[in-house]
Copies of this chain bind each other. A is one copy, B any other.
């Protein structure tokens, strides 16, 4: 949680994580494009737009996100001693599942913008987002059972179970919005479903496809789950104290929607008088004023939410690295996984 630049400095284990992401994305994109080309024309068009491959006018897009999950899948194949190609069907499948869930979640949350562009449901309507998401989910599992690896079906089984975990997390997220008594443990369990489960599967699916022994896939799975927890904690910190020029969101963004994120929930339950004042404010309605937002952020900090979340993120990242250290992985992929994990969780806030 230092103020180093992402992807630089000693905390990234000497690895240029941005370069690792670029290499993996370059390896995965053709296979992902081949999979997407099998969709019906409408779902294909909407998916290409959603992935940042095209703009609404049909021109070439900026290329979309960092593709963290496919990178983890490729690195996990390499960590199991296989080549990147062995992990490719897994990389494609986790990226398809990630985007299926974004398409549906944007509709569920009624988010009209993603990366400063209209979301698919906002542009084409709810039916388009539901149906193209459905097609991506089916396609993800299809890609795995078609994989040349004899372990494709096992990878498909694990990814399908992960989708049930994703759904559980999202169901809880929706339910929590209406509740005022959600505890820290429930909140962490929800995040484990919504964020951790797919990162855990991403970080192990390449090793599953490579037929790696149980302890190796388990270590990689734990690594991904703990990185996911740390990532969510840091993301929640950035949602309050992140630099708008870096996050692309307004100052104090999550407080504007009175979101009961992890640091907020901690402060409510463990922050004494500050927590009670914060809880009363969260129960309010209407557009909060700027002074109210700054007061709420101060209450989260005074109630211990900021320090707890930062410490918990560090603790989870240490658990992630400890899991890998015990698995006797080859040095190169090990360093790249650790570097990528730190890159994702070692952001300024």
Interface residues of A (CB under 8 A from B): 38-40, 42-43, 100, 104, 107-108, 126-128, 130-135, 137-139, 141-142, 145-146, 152-154, 156-157, 160-161, 163-164, 167-168, 170-171, 174-175
Contacts and interface: CB of A to CB of B under 8 A. Distances in A.
A186 to B, nearest CB: 13
Nearest to A109: B127
Contacts of A39: 164
A131 B107 CA distance: 11
A157 B288 CA distance: 51
B104 A171 contact: no
A141 B142 CA distance: 9
A20 to B, nearest CB: 30
Nearest to A39: B164
A40 B145 contact: no
B108 A164 contact: no
Contacts of A146: 157
A147 to B, nearest CB: 10
A194 to B, nearest CB: 11
A40 to B, nearest CB: 4
A166 to B, nearest CB: 8
Given A108-B131, A131-B170, A175-B42, A156 B145 contact: yes
Contact of A127 (B43, B100, B174): B174
Contacts of A153: 145, 152-153, 156
Contacts of A152: 153
A154 B146 CA distance: 8
Contacts of A38: 164
Contacts of A132: 167
Closest 4 CB pairs of A and B: A138-B163, A142-B160, A40-B168, A153-B153
B138 A126 contact: no
A108 B127 contact: yes
A171 B167 CA distance: 23
A130 B130 contact: yes
Contacts of A107: 126, 130
A108 B128 CA distance: 9
Nearest to A154: B145
Contact of A138 (B104, B127, B130, B167): B167
Contact of A135 (B40, B42, B127, B163): B163
6 contacts: A43-B167, A127-B171, A128-B171, A138-B160, A142-B161, A145-B156
A145 B152 CA distance: 10
Given A145-B160, A170-B131, A137 B139 contact: no
A131 B153 CA distance: 24
A141 B267 CA distance: 42
A161 B141 CA distance: 10
